[in-house]
A and B are shown apart, each in its own frame.
Chain A
Amino acid sequence: MKTVSLGQYYPAASPLHRLDARMKVCLSILFIVCTFLAKNICAFAALVAAMLILVALSRIPLRLILRAVRPVLFIMVFTAVVNLFVTKGENLLFSWWKLQIFREGIYNASFMLVRIITLVVGSSLLLTYTTTPIQLTDAIESLLSPLRVFRLPVHEFAMMMTIALRFIPLLSEETAKIMNAQRARGVDFSVGGPVRRVQSLVPILIPLFVSSFRRADELATAMECRCYRGGKGRTKMTIPHLHARDGVALVLLLLFGTGIVLLNRYGYGYTMTR
Protein backbone atom coordinates (compact mmCIF):
# COMPACT_ATOMS: atom_id res chain seq x y z
CA MET A 1 0.00 0.00 0.00
CA LYS A 2 2.57 2.52 -1.05
CA THR A 3 -0.20 4.55 -2.62
CA VAL A 4 -1.83 5.67 0.58
CA SER A 5 -2.14 9.43 0.48
CA LEU A 6 -2.72 11.52 3.54
CA GLY A 7 -6.38 12.44 3.49
CA GLN A 8 -7.50 13.58 0.10
CA TYR A 9 -4.61 15.90 -0.61
CA TYR A 10 -3.74 15.97 -4.29
CA PRO A 11 -0.33 17.45 -5.07
CA ALA A 12 -0.32 19.98 -7.90
CA ALA A 13 1.08 23.39 -8.65
CA SER A 14 -1.97 25.62 -8.61
CA PRO A 15 -2.87 29.05 -7.22
CA LEU A 16 -5.14 27.31 -4.71
CA HIS A 17 -2.29 25.14 -3.44
CA ARG A 18 -0.12 28.19 -2.93
CA LEU A 19 -2.58 30.11 -0.77
CA ASP A 20 -1.85 30.31 2.94
CA ALA A 21 -3.62 27.52 4.79
CA ARG A 22 -5.03 29.88 7.43
CA MET A 23 -6.47 32.03 4.71
CA LYS A 24 -7.95 28.97 3.06
CA VAL A 25 -9.75 28.01 6.27
CA CYS A 26 -11.28 31.50 6.44
CA LEU A 27 -12.06 31.49 2.72
CA SER A 28 -13.87 28.20 2.86
CA ILE A 29 -15.95 29.36 5.82
CA LEU A 30 -16.82 32.46 3.80
CA PHE A 31 -17.64 30.39 0.76
CA ILE A 32 -19.92 28.15 2.80
CA VAL A 33 -21.69 31.25 4.13
CA CYS A 34 -22.12 32.38 0.53
CA THR A 35 -23.76 29.10 -0.44
CA PHE A 36 -26.30 29.68 2.31
CA LEU A 37 -26.83 33.33 1.39
CA ALA A 38 -27.89 32.57 -2.15
CA LYS A 39 -31.67 32.73 -2.55
CA ASN A 40 -32.60 33.04 -6.21
CA ILE A 41 -31.57 31.66 -9.54
CA CYS A 42 -29.17 34.50 -10.34
CA ALA A 43 -27.29 34.05 -7.06
CA PHE A 44 -27.09 30.29 -7.56
CA ALA A 45 -25.81 30.76 -11.07
CA ALA A 46 -23.07 32.96 -9.64
CA LEU A 47 -22.26 30.22 -7.10
CA VAL A 48 -21.97 27.61 -9.81
CA ALA A 49 -19.75 29.93 -11.83
CA ALA A 50 -17.52 30.50 -8.81
CA MET A 51 -17.31 26.76 -8.21
CA LEU A 52 -16.32 26.15 -11.83
CA ILE A 53 -13.63 28.82 -11.57
CA LEU A 54 -12.29 27.10 -8.44
CA VAL A 55 -12.30 23.74 -10.25
CA ALA A 56 -10.35 25.25 -13.12
CA LEU A 57 -7.90 26.99 -10.79
CA SER A 58 -7.21 23.89 -8.70
CA ARG A 59 -5.86 21.68 -11.55
CA ILE A 60 -7.39 18.65 -9.89
CA PRO A 61 -8.82 15.93 -12.15
CA LEU A 62 -12.59 16.10 -12.43
CA ARG A 63 -13.12 12.49 -11.45
CA LEU A 64 -11.47 13.15 -8.08
CA ILE A 65 -13.75 16.10 -7.49
CA LEU A 66 -16.77 13.99 -8.32
CA ARG A 67 -15.54 11.46 -5.80
CA ALA A 68 -15.89 14.13 -3.10
CA VAL A 69 -19.57 14.46 -3.91
CA ARG A 70 -20.28 10.74 -3.75
CA PRO A 71 -20.44 10.40 0.08
CA VAL A 72 -23.11 13.11 0.32
CA LEU A 73 -25.18 11.71 -2.52
CA PHE A 74 -27.70 10.22 -0.11
CA ILE A 75 -28.10 13.49 1.78
CA MET A 76 -28.55 15.29 -1.52
CA VAL A 77 -31.29 12.98 -2.73
CA PHE A 78 -32.98 13.02 0.66
CA THR A 79 -32.97 16.82 0.93
CA ALA A 80 -34.17 17.22 -2.61
CA VAL A 81 -37.08 14.80 -2.12
CA VAL A 82 -38.12 16.39 1.17
CA ASN A 83 -38.01 19.87 -0.34
CA LEU A 84 -39.94 18.68 -3.36
CA PHE A 85 -42.91 17.43 -1.35
CA VAL A 86 -42.89 19.66 1.70
CA THR A 87 -42.75 23.06 0.02
CA LYS A 88 -46.20 24.60 -0.33
CA GLY A 89 -46.80 27.31 -2.92
CA GLU A 90 -49.29 28.71 -5.36
CA ASN A 91 -48.69 26.75 -8.54
CA LEU A 92 -49.84 23.20 -7.95
CA LEU A 93 -48.34 20.97 -10.64
CA PHE A 94 -49.15 17.50 -9.46
CA SER A 95 -51.26 15.98 -6.77
CA TRP A 96 -51.87 12.38 -5.77
CA TRP A 97 -53.32 11.18 -2.48
CA LYS A 98 -51.54 13.35 0.11
CA LEU A 99 -48.55 14.14 -2.08
CA GLN A 100 -48.47 17.52 -3.72
CA ILE A 101 -45.80 19.03 -5.87
CA PHE A 102 -45.73 22.77 -6.39
CA ARG A 103 -43.56 24.66 -8.82
CA GLU A 104 -41.94 26.27 -5.78
CA GLY A 105 -41.04 22.80 -4.53
CA ILE A 106 -39.14 22.06 -7.71
CA TYR A 107 -37.26 25.34 -7.35
CA ASN A 108 -36.44 24.69 -3.71
CA ALA A 109 -35.30 21.12 -4.40
CA SER A 110 -33.00 22.09 -7.22
CA PHE A 111 -31.60 25.07 -5.30
CA MET A 112 -30.84 22.76 -2.38
CA LEU A 113 -29.05 20.36 -4.71
CA VAL A 114 -26.91 23.16 -6.14
CA ARG A 115 -26.23 24.45 -2.64
CA ILE A 116 -24.97 21.10 -1.38
CA ILE A 117 -22.85 20.46 -4.46
CA THR A 118 -21.20 23.88 -4.41
CA LEU A 119 -20.69 23.61 -0.65
CA VAL A 120 -19.00 20.22 -0.83
CA VAL A 121 -16.94 20.91 -3.93
CA GLY A 122 -15.98 24.43 -2.83
CA SER A 123 -14.83 23.49 0.63
CA SER A 124 -13.00 20.36 -0.48
CA LEU A 125 -11.22 22.29 -3.23
CA LEU A 126 -10.25 25.08 -0.87
CA LEU A 127 -9.22 22.77 1.95
CA THR A 128 -8.81 19.03 1.75
CA TYR A 129 -7.69 18.69 -1.87
CA THR A 130 -5.20 21.55 -1.92
CA THR A 131 -3.91 21.66 1.66
CA THR A 132 -1.80 18.98 3.31
CA PRO A 133 -3.20 17.76 6.63
CA ILE A 134 -0.16 19.13 8.42
CA GLN A 135 -0.69 22.59 6.96
CA LEU A 136 -4.31 22.30 7.95
CA THR A 137 -3.68 21.46 11.60
CA ASP A 138 -1.04 24.19 11.78
CA ALA A 139 -3.56 26.62 10.38
CA ILE A 140 -6.20 25.55 12.85
CA GLU A 141 -3.74 25.87 15.71
CA SER A 142 -2.79 29.33 14.59
CA LEU A 143 -6.40 30.44 14.09
CA LEU A 144 -7.45 29.06 17.47
CA SER A 145 -4.45 30.43 19.33
CA PRO A 146 -6.35 33.46 20.71
CA LEU A 147 -8.36 30.93 22.75
CA ARG A 148 -5.25 30.31 24.83
CA VAL A 149 -6.33 33.32 26.85
CA PHE A 150 -9.12 31.11 28.16
CA ARG A 151 -6.57 28.40 29.07
CA LEU A 152 -7.70 26.11 26.28
CA PRO A 153 -4.93 23.65 25.33
CA VAL A 154 -4.84 24.74 21.69
CA HIS A 155 -1.40 23.37 20.97
CA GLU A 156 -2.16 20.00 22.53
CA PHE A 157 -5.36 19.82 20.52
CA ALA A 158 -3.47 20.53 17.30
CA MET A 159 -0.76 18.02 18.22
CA MET A 160 -3.40 15.36 18.80
CA MET A 161 -4.84 16.08 15.38
CA THR A 162 -1.42 15.94 13.75
CA ILE A 163 -0.61 12.62 15.38
CA ALA A 164 -4.00 11.18 14.53
CA LEU A 165 -3.55 12.23 10.91
CA ARG A 166 -0.04 10.84 10.87
CA PHE A 167 -1.31 7.51 12.10
CA ILE A 168 -4.01 7.12 9.47
CA PRO A 169 -1.69 6.04 6.64
CA LEU A 170 0.43 4.02 9.08
CA LEU A 171 -2.56 2.11 10.36
CA SER A 172 -4.04 1.58 6.95
CA GLU A 173 -0.71 0.21 5.76
CA GLU A 174 -0.57 -1.98 8.86
CA THR A 175 -4.12 -3.18 8.25
CA ALA A 176 -3.26 -4.12 4.70
CA LYS A 177 -0.22 -6.04 5.90
CA ILE A 178 -2.12 -7.94 8.57
CA MET A 179 -4.96 -8.67 6.17
CA ASN A 180 -2.46 -10.05 3.69
CA ALA A 181 -0.82 -12.16 6.38
CA GLN A 182 -4.15 -13.65 7.41
CA ARG A 183 -5.25 -14.11 3.82
CA ALA A 184 -2.02 -16.04 3.32
CA ARG A 185 -3.30 -18.34 6.08
CA GLY A 186 -6.55 -18.88 4.23
CA VAL A 187 -8.93 -16.24 5.58
CA ASP A 188 -11.46 -15.21 3.00
CA PHE A 189 -13.01 -11.86 3.88
CA SER A 190 -15.57 -11.92 1.13
CA VAL A 191 -17.50 -15.12 1.83
CA GLY A 192 -20.06 -16.21 4.38
CA GLY A 193 -22.94 -14.50 6.14
CA PRO A 194 -22.68 -11.43 8.33
CA VAL A 195 -21.63 -13.45 11.38
CA ARG A 196 -18.82 -15.18 9.48
CA ARG A 197 -17.64 -11.86 8.10
CA VAL A 198 -17.52 -10.21 11.51
CA GLN A 199 -15.67 -13.26 12.85
CA SER A 200 -13.12 -13.00 10.09
CA LEU A 201 -12.31 -9.47 11.31
CA VAL A 202 -11.05 -10.76 14.68
CA PRO A 203 -7.68 -11.95 13.29
CA ILE A 204 -7.19 -8.42 11.94
CA LEU A 205 -8.48 -6.27 14.76
CA ILE A 206 -6.52 -7.94 17.55
CA PRO A 207 -3.10 -7.56 15.91
CA LEU A 208 -4.07 -4.06 14.85
CA PHE A 209 -4.95 -3.02 18.41
CA VAL A 210 -1.80 -4.59 19.77
CA SER A 211 0.36 -2.78 17.27
CA SER A 212 -1.42 0.56 17.73
CA PHE A 213 -0.71 0.46 21.44
CA ARG A 214 2.88 -0.49 20.75
CA ARG A 215 3.27 2.35 18.27
CA ALA A 216 1.67 4.88 20.60
CA ASP A 217 4.03 3.78 23.32
CA GLU A 218 7.06 4.05 21.06
CA LEU A 219 5.97 7.48 19.83
CA ALA A 220 5.52 8.75 23.39
CA THR A 221 8.99 7.53 24.32
CA ALA A 222 10.51 9.07 21.20
CA MET A 223 8.83 12.41 21.92
CA GLU A 224 10.02 12.38 25.52
CA CYS A 225 13.53 11.52 24.41
CA ARG A 226 13.48 14.71 22.39
CA CYS A 227 12.29 16.67 25.42
CA TYR A 228 8.79 17.35 24.20
CA ARG A 229 6.86 19.00 26.99
CA GLY A 230 3.88 20.59 25.34
CA GLY A 231 3.34 23.83 23.51
CA LYS A 232 4.92 26.35 25.83
CA GLY A 233 7.85 28.14 24.19
CA ARG A 234 7.81 25.86 21.15
CA THR A 235 8.90 27.41 17.89
CA LYS A 236 7.93 26.34 14.40
CA MET A 237 10.17 25.06 11.66
CA THR A 238 8.13 26.66 8.91
CA ILE A 239 6.57 29.99 9.77
CA PRO A 240 3.72 30.78 7.39
CA HIS A 241 3.50 34.26 5.92
CA LEU A 242 0.57 36.00 4.33
CA HIS A 243 1.28 37.14 0.79
CA ALA A 244 -0.39 39.61 -1.50
CA ARG A 245 -2.21 36.75 -3.24
CA ASP A 246 -3.89 35.81 0.03
CA GLY A 247 -5.22 39.36 0.34
CA VAL A 248 -6.37 39.30 -3.28
CA ALA A 249 -8.20 36.02 -2.69
CA LEU A 250 -9.92 37.41 0.39
CA VAL A 251 -11.01 40.59 -1.40
CA LEU A 252 -12.29 38.58 -4.36
CA LEU A 253 -14.34 36.33 -2.14
CA LEU A 254 -15.73 39.27 -0.14
CA LEU A 255 -16.73 40.93 -3.42
CA PHE A 256 -18.31 37.68 -4.45
CA GLY A 257 -20.30 37.55 -1.20
CA THR A 258 -21.49 41.12 -1.75
CA GLY A 259 -22.42 40.17 -5.28
CA ILE A 260 -24.53 37.29 -4.00
CA VAL A 261 -26.37 39.61 -1.61
CA LEU A 262 -27.00 42.11 -4.39
CA LEU A 263 -28.20 39.40 -6.76
CA ASN A 264 -30.56 38.19 -4.06
CA ARG A 265 -32.09 41.63 -3.87
CA TYR A 266 -32.09 42.73 -7.51
CA GLY A 267 -32.08 39.43 -9.36
CA TYR A 268 -35.33 38.10 -10.81
CA GLY A 269 -37.20 34.85 -10.50
CA TYR A 270 -38.38 32.77 -7.60
CA THR A 271 -36.84 33.56 -4.22
CA MET A 272 -36.20 30.64 -1.94
CA THR A 273 -38.15 30.73 1.29
CA ARG A 274 -35.49 29.25 3.47
Chain B
Amino acid sequence: MIDPRVVRGVVGVAGLLAVAEAAGRAGLMDTRIMPLASTVVARAAGLAVDGEFLQDVSATLGVWAAGLVVAILLAVPVGVLLGSLPRVEAAVRPLIEFLRPIPSVALIPLVALIAASDARVKVTVIVYAACWPVLVNTMYGLHDVDPVAKDTLRAFGFGRLAVLLRVALPSAAPFVLTGVRLAASVALVVAVSAELLAGGAGGIGVYIIKAGSGYRVDLMVAAAVWAGLIGLAVNALLVRAERVLFRWHAARAGVAA
Protein backbone atom coordinates (compact mmCIF):
# COMPACT_ATOMS: atom_id res chain seq x y z
CA MET B 1 0.00 0.00 0.00
CA ILE B 2 1.53 3.32 -1.07
CA ASP B 3 1.13 6.27 1.25
CA PRO B 4 -1.63 8.49 -0.20
CA ARG B 5 0.47 11.56 0.67
CA VAL B 6 3.21 10.36 -1.67
CA VAL B 7 0.66 9.71 -4.40
CA ARG B 8 -0.81 13.19 -4.00
CA GLY B 9 2.66 14.74 -4.00
CA VAL B 10 3.60 13.01 -7.24
CA VAL B 11 0.25 13.96 -8.79
CA GLY B 12 0.77 17.59 -7.68
CA VAL B 13 4.22 17.87 -9.25
CA ALA B 14 3.11 16.07 -12.41
CA GLY B 15 0.05 18.32 -12.62
CA LEU B 16 2.13 21.49 -12.36
CA LEU B 17 4.48 20.26 -15.09
CA ALA B 18 1.54 19.29 -17.28
CA VAL B 19 -0.09 22.71 -16.88
CA ALA B 20 3.20 24.47 -17.73
CA GLU B 21 3.66 22.20 -20.73
CA ALA B 22 0.10 22.77 -21.96
CA ALA B 23 0.41 26.54 -21.51
CA GLY B 24 3.54 26.50 -23.66
CA ARG B 25 2.05 24.30 -26.35
CA ALA B 26 -1.21 26.23 -26.47
CA GLY B 27 0.75 29.40 -27.11
CA LEU B 28 -0.14 31.07 -23.79
CA MET B 29 3.57 31.45 -23.14
CA ASP B 30 6.13 32.36 -25.76
CA THR B 31 8.31 29.25 -25.94
CA ARG B 32 11.16 31.30 -27.35
CA ILE B 33 11.31 33.13 -24.01
CA MET B 34 10.01 30.51 -21.57
CA PRO B 35 10.86 26.98 -22.70
CA LEU B 36 8.43 24.06 -22.39
CA ALA B 37 8.43 22.12 -19.13
CA SER B 38 9.47 18.99 -21.02
CA THR B 39 12.44 20.86 -22.50
CA VAL B 40 13.56 22.00 -19.04
CA VAL B 41 13.22 18.49 -17.62
CA ALA B 42 15.20 17.07 -20.55
CA ARG B 43 17.91 19.73 -20.15
CA ALA B 44 18.11 19.09 -16.41
CA ALA B 45 18.54 15.38 -17.08
CA GLY B 46 21.20 16.19 -19.64
CA LEU B 47 23.09 18.38 -17.19
CA ALA B 48 23.43 15.42 -14.81
CA VAL B 49 25.86 13.83 -17.25
CA ASP B 50 27.37 17.05 -18.59
CA GLY B 51 31.04 17.08 -17.48
CA GLU B 52 31.33 20.85 -17.70
CA PHE B 53 28.28 21.42 -15.52
CA LEU B 54 29.42 18.80 -13.00
CA GLN B 55 32.69 20.70 -12.66
CA ASP B 56 30.70 23.85 -11.95
CA VAL B 57 28.67 21.97 -9.32
CA SER B 58 31.80 20.73 -7.61
CA ALA B 59 33.25 24.26 -7.68
CA THR B 60 30.11 25.56 -5.94
CA LEU B 61 30.16 22.73 -3.41
CA GLY B 62 33.86 23.44 -2.81
CA VAL B 63 33.40 27.08 -1.78
CA TRP B 64 30.20 26.13 0.03
CA ALA B 65 31.95 23.50 2.16
CA ALA B 66 34.98 25.72 2.81
CA GLY B 67 32.79 28.62 3.91
CA LEU B 68 30.59 26.41 6.06
CA VAL B 69 33.55 24.76 7.82
CA VAL B 70 35.23 28.10 8.57
CA ALA B 71 31.90 29.49 9.82
CA ILE B 72 31.44 26.53 12.17
CA LEU B 73 35.01 26.75 13.46
CA LEU B 74 34.49 30.45 14.17
CA ALA B 75 30.92 30.53 15.40
CA VAL B 76 30.80 27.50 17.70
CA PRO B 77 33.67 28.58 20.01
CA VAL B 78 32.42 32.17 20.04
CA GLY B 79 28.90 30.94 20.74
CA VAL B 80 30.08 28.73 23.60
CA LEU B 81 32.10 31.60 25.04
CA LEU B 82 29.24 34.09 24.83
CA GLY B 83 26.66 31.56 25.92
CA SER B 84 28.54 30.71 29.08
CA LEU B 85 29.57 34.30 29.94
CA PRO B 86 26.30 36.25 30.18
CA ARG B 87 27.99 39.58 30.92
CA VAL B 88 30.17 39.41 27.86
CA GLU B 89 27.15 38.37 25.86
CA ALA B 90 25.16 41.36 27.11
CA ALA B 91 28.02 43.66 26.08
CA VAL B 92 28.37 42.17 22.60
CA ARG B 93 24.67 41.77 21.86
CA PRO B 94 24.09 45.26 20.37
CA LEU B 95 26.96 44.59 17.97
CA ILE B 96 25.42 41.28 16.94
CA GLU B 97 22.03 42.87 16.46
CA PHE B 98 23.57 45.47 14.20
CA LEU B 99 25.75 43.10 12.17
CA ARG B 100 23.22 40.32 11.67
CA PRO B 101 20.77 42.17 9.39
CA ILE B 102 23.54 43.37 7.04
CA PRO B 103 22.88 41.43 3.82
CA SER B 104 25.98 39.35 3.21
CA VAL B 105 25.71 39.93 -0.53
CA ALA B 106 26.18 43.65 0.11
CA LEU B 107 29.69 42.78 1.25
CA ILE B 108 30.60 41.31 -2.14
CA PRO B 109 31.67 44.59 -3.81
CA LEU B 110 33.74 45.57 -0.77
CA VAL B 111 35.35 42.17 -0.25
CA ALA B 112 36.05 41.97 -3.98
CA LEU B 113 38.32 45.02 -3.59
CA ILE B 114 40.06 43.72 -0.48
CA ALA B 115 40.44 39.96 -1.02
CA ALA B 116 43.17 38.57 -3.23
CA SER B 117 41.25 35.93 -5.21
CA ASP B 118 37.62 35.48 -6.11
CA ALA B 119 37.50 32.15 -4.26
CA ARG B 120 38.39 34.10 -1.12
CA VAL B 121 35.71 36.65 -1.86
CA LYS B 122 33.11 33.91 -2.01
CA VAL B 123 34.34 32.07 1.05
CA THR B 124 34.46 35.29 3.08
CA VAL B 125 30.91 36.21 2.18
CA ILE B 126 29.65 32.67 2.84
CA VAL B 127 31.36 32.65 6.23
CA TYR B 128 29.71 35.94 7.12
CA ALA B 129 26.26 34.65 6.21
CA ALA B 130 26.66 31.17 7.69
CA CYS B 131 28.06 32.36 11.03
CA TRP B 132 24.82 33.80 12.35
CA PRO B 133 22.56 30.72 12.48
CA VAL B 134 25.37 28.69 14.10
CA LEU B 135 26.24 31.43 16.57
CA VAL B 136 22.68 32.19 17.58
CA ASN B 137 21.69 28.55 17.98
CA THR B 138 24.85 27.72 19.94
CA MET B 139 24.16 30.56 22.36
CA TYR B 140 20.54 29.52 22.63
CA GLY B 141 21.53 25.92 23.29
CA LEU B 142 23.81 26.93 26.13
CA HIS B 143 21.08 29.04 27.71
CA ASP B 144 18.71 26.11 27.48
CA VAL B 145 20.84 23.80 29.64
CA ASP B 146 18.86 22.29 32.50
CA PRO B 147 19.98 24.14 35.66
CA VAL B 148 19.27 21.05 37.76
CA ALA B 149 21.84 19.05 35.79
CA LYS B 150 24.39 21.83 36.28
CA ASP B 151 23.69 22.10 39.99
CA THR B 152 23.95 18.34 40.38
CA LEU B 153 27.47 18.33 39.00
CA ARG B 154 28.43 21.40 41.04
CA ALA B 155 27.15 19.69 44.16
CA PHE B 156 29.53 16.83 43.48
CA GLY B 157 32.37 19.34 43.45
CA PHE B 158 32.97 19.64 39.73
CA GLY B 159 34.41 22.95 38.49
CA ARG B 160 33.03 25.29 35.84
CA LEU B 161 35.00 23.72 33.03
CA ALA B 162 33.86 20.22 33.94
CA VAL B 163 30.25 21.39 34.02
CA LEU B 164 30.71 22.99 30.62
CA LEU B 165 32.23 19.85 29.09
CA ARG B 166 29.95 17.30 30.69
CA VAL B 167 26.58 19.01 30.76
CA ALA B 168 26.46 22.24 28.80
CA LEU B 169 28.12 21.13 25.57
CA PRO B 170 26.32 17.80 25.17
CA SER B 171 22.94 19.35 25.81
CA ALA B 172 23.67 22.27 23.48
CA ALA B 173 24.88 19.96 20.69
CA PRO B 174 21.46 19.39 19.04
CA PHE B 175 20.93 23.14 18.82
CA VAL B 176 24.37 23.58 17.28
CA LEU B 177 23.59 20.99 14.64
CA THR B 178 20.27 22.68 13.88
CA GLY B 179 22.21 25.92 13.45
CA VAL B 180 24.59 24.13 11.09
CA ARG B 181 21.67 22.82 9.05
CA LEU B 182 20.15 26.30 8.69
CA ALA B 183 23.61 27.69 7.91
CA ALA B 184 24.14 25.06 5.22
CA SER B 185 21.06 26.20 3.27
CA VAL B 186 21.96 29.86 3.70
CA ALA B 187 25.54 29.16 2.63
CA LEU B 188 24.39 27.44 -0.56
CA VAL B 189 22.17 30.37 -1.51
CA VAL B 190 24.98 32.83 -0.79
CA ALA B 191 27.52 30.71 -2.69
CA VAL B 192 25.38 30.75 -5.83
CA SER B 193 24.55 34.45 -5.37
CA ALA B 194 28.25 35.30 -5.03
CA GLU B 195 28.99 33.38 -8.22
CA LEU B 196 26.24 35.26 -10.02
CA LEU B 197 27.40 38.64 -8.76
CA ALA B 198 31.18 38.23 -8.62
CA GLY B 199 31.64 35.79 -11.48
CA GLY B 200 34.85 33.75 -11.30
CA ALA B 201 36.25 30.64 -12.87
CA GLY B 202 33.42 28.18 -12.18
CA GLY B 203 30.26 27.41 -10.26
CA ILE B 204 26.53 26.94 -10.83
CA GLY B 205 26.06 30.71 -10.76
CA VAL B 206 28.77 31.19 -13.36
CA TYR B 207 27.15 28.52 -15.52
CA ILE B 208 23.82 30.37 -15.29
CA ILE B 209 25.45 33.65 -16.32
CA LYS B 210 27.04 31.97 -19.32
CA ALA B 211 23.74 30.35 -20.30
CA GLY B 212 22.04 33.73 -19.89
CA SER B 213 24.49 35.52 -22.13
CA GLY B 214 23.72 32.93 -24.82
CA TYR B 215 19.96 33.37 -24.27
CA ARG B 216 19.72 29.70 -23.33
CA VAL B 217 16.80 30.07 -20.93
CA ASP B 218 16.26 26.29 -20.92
CA LEU B 219 19.78 25.74 -19.53
CA MET B 220 19.40 28.58 -17.03
CA VAL B 221 16.23 27.12 -15.58
CA ALA B 222 17.66 23.58 -15.64
CA ALA B 223 20.69 24.77 -13.64
CA ALA B 224 18.44 26.57 -11.15
CA VAL B 225 16.48 23.32 -10.77
CA TRP B 226 19.72 21.54 -9.89
CA ALA B 227 20.60 24.23 -7.37
CA GLY B 228 17.23 23.58 -5.72
CA LEU B 229 17.70 19.80 -5.77
CA ILE B 230 21.15 20.12 -4.20
CA GLY B 231 19.69 22.36 -1.51
CA LEU B 232 16.98 19.79 -0.78
CA ALA B 233 19.53 16.95 -0.65
CA VAL B 234 21.83 18.83 1.74
CA ASN B 235 18.93 19.70 4.01
CA ALA B 236 17.57 16.14 3.97
CA LEU B 237 21.00 14.73 4.85
CA LEU B 238 21.41 17.07 7.79
CA VAL B 239 17.88 16.41 9.04
CA ARG B 240 18.73 12.70 8.97
CA ALA B 241 21.97 13.34 10.83
CA GLU B 242 20.03 15.21 13.50
CA ARG B 243 17.56 12.33 13.85
CA VAL B 244 20.28 9.70 14.10
CA LEU B 245 22.60 11.62 16.42
CA PHE B 246 20.05 13.19 18.70
CA ARG B 247 17.19 10.80 18.84
CA TRP B 248 16.67 11.75 22.46
CA HIS B 249 16.23 15.39 21.74
CA ALA B 250 12.71 16.56 20.97
CA ALA B 251 13.15 20.26 20.30
CA ARG B 252 14.63 20.25 16.84
CA ALA B 253 12.95 23.40 15.68
CA GLY B 254 15.84 25.67 16.61
CA VAL B 255 16.01 29.41 16.25
CA ALA B 256 15.53 30.83 12.80
CA ALA B 257 18.33 33.23 12.09
Asked if A pairs with B, the answer is no
Residues of A that sit less than 8 Å from B by CB: none
